Amino acid sequence: MSDDRLIVALDVPNALQALALTEKLGDAVSFYKIGLGMLTGGGLGLANELIAEQGKRVFLDMKLFDIGATVEAAVRGLAQFDLDFLTVHGDPHVVRAAKEGAAGKDLKILAVTILTSLDRADLDEGLIRAGDIPELVAERAARAFDAGADGVIASPQEAAMIRALPEAAGRLIVTPGVRPTGAALGDQKRVATPASAVSAGADHIVVGRPIWQAPDPRAAAQAIVDELATL
């Protein structure tokens, strides 16, 4: 049995490989993430097929950022695909525009706080103001919620702090940077195991390489589902 709390990232080169992976995973997985890297590899067509032909849920991870009118128009177009989640950057003007674009649809707008691949040195290089990352993430999350975000993207290490925010009541927390015990970290720097991420307040966890690079992807996904079932 699948568990919607697990979202598998289809970060493979193209839609054909992604469909081959979903065939291997079968009913062990019900929710998939399609990212920016897949966009030129047939990502929107893939989303349509997963939704219409396989009955899967789809999270489109575009991390949109632009002037308000452009974001609103882009989201309005994407909202026609019956997606579950769409990411935008957590700047309040972007979130407000995205919510306008999604008006009348069930599409949930998720705001990116600080990417889980970044640490304080990366933020310094990007001229982001001083402060501990968890505190900055919580502040960005609160501002995104105030702007209307249905949820946020944050690392598992900040999930509990965000969940404790008054503004987080009834909102979603989706955590990438999740690695099963013993899995390689890859390019992620702020990570946790599936069970610890959900225990900290995450509603959904996103896992990619530890599943699709595994010798048996279905078994790897089922192990995570089984771990979540113990909570």
> Which sequence positions are flagged as catalytic?
63
Contacts of 17 (CB under 8 A, 6+ apart): none
Compute and round to an integer the Cα radius of gyration of the chain: 17
Q: For 31-91, give the DSSP string.
A: EEEEEGGGGGGTHHHHHHHHHHTT--EEEEEEEE-S-HHHHHHHHHHHGGG--SEEEEE--
Contacts of 152 (CB under 8 A, 6+ apart): 90, 110, 111, 112, 113, 140, 141, 144, 145, 162, 171, 172, 173, 174
Contacts of 3 (CB under 8 A, 6+ apart): 30, 225, 228, 229
